[in-house]
Homo-oligomer: A and B are copies of this chain.
Amino acid sequence: MKAMVLAGCPNAVLVDVSHEVPRFDVSAGAFMLFAGTRHFAGGSVHLVVVDPGVGTSRRRLAIRAGGRYYVGPDNGLFTIVIDEVGLQDAVELAPRPEGSSTFEGRDVFAPAAAALAAGVPIESLGPPTDPPKMIEESTPRVLWTDGFGNLVTNLKPPARPMRVHNHYVTATATTYAEARPNEPFVYVGSMGYLEIGVREARADRLLGARAGMLIELL
């Protein structure tokens, strides 16, 4: 995919935002697509493939939202970006008959991302199309575990008590330094969502919790 991007836009600066999204987890992918890209400058191009249905007939999309571009399959991945910053444009990309049928990331999405990065107007990439599929995600849950064992939830501030995996997490703090050792606490994480952490320890291990687990608000 990077070769295809550089072939189409040799001066592109490539950033791997995340390879931590659990396989096939579109909700977590939608979250990361927003949280992990919102600090990039206007005009930046974000390519995403989290795709249980590779090769199926869902649309292939390029959209503009919040002044940034997003390219990927129409399976709900754009939901949170659009909820948060609004949709400006959506065009449908053509499948590439000569490309591999198993890797649209390389054969369809990467060339489209390269074209956008090189300054090609989005409306040149395909016909305008209906807004992307939106997924409903109203149930509080753990979206994933970060590298420190913190549990990232799909909940917005303010920080508040919750229960996960039969553990009550009632402490809140604004910094790790404020928290007490060995006591899990809720805080507003760097991506703008509530997280559960433990100072100098792993919340996932202490609570036995992992991505996908439901959360009960107290």
B contact residues around A13 at 8 Å (CB): 6, 10-14
The contact sample of 20 A-B pairs, CB cut-off 8 A, is A2-B15, A3-B38, A3-B44, A6-B13, A6-B15, A6-B41, A7-B40, A7-B41, A11-B13, A12-B13, A52-B200, A55-B174, A55-B177, A56-B177, A100-B190, A102-B175, A102-B176, A102-B189, A103-B189, A103-B190
Docked Cα-Cα span, A17 to B58, in Å, equals 29
Interface flag for A96 (CB, 8 Å): no
Docked Cα-Cα span, A103 to B189, in Å, equals 8
Q: Are B188 and A100 in contact (CB under 8 A)?
A: yes
Residue of B nearest to A149 (CB): B23
Closest 3 CB pairs of A and B: A55-B175, A103-B190, A3-B39
Q: Are B55 and A178 in contact (CB under 8 A)?
A: yes
**Would you list which residues of chain A between 1 and 58 have a CB under 8 Å from chain B?**
2-4, 6-7, 10-15, 23-24, 37-41, 44, 52-56
Interface flag for A187 (CB, 8 Å): yes
Residue of B nearest to A2 (CB): B15
Q: Are B176 and A55 in contact (CB under 8 A)?
A: yes
Docked Cα-Cα span, A11 to B10, in Å, equals 11
Number of identical protomers: 3
Q: Are B15 and A14 in contact (CB under 8 A)?
A: yes
B contact residues around A6 at 8 Å (CB): 13, 15, 40-41, 44
B contact residues around A160 at 8 Å (CB): none
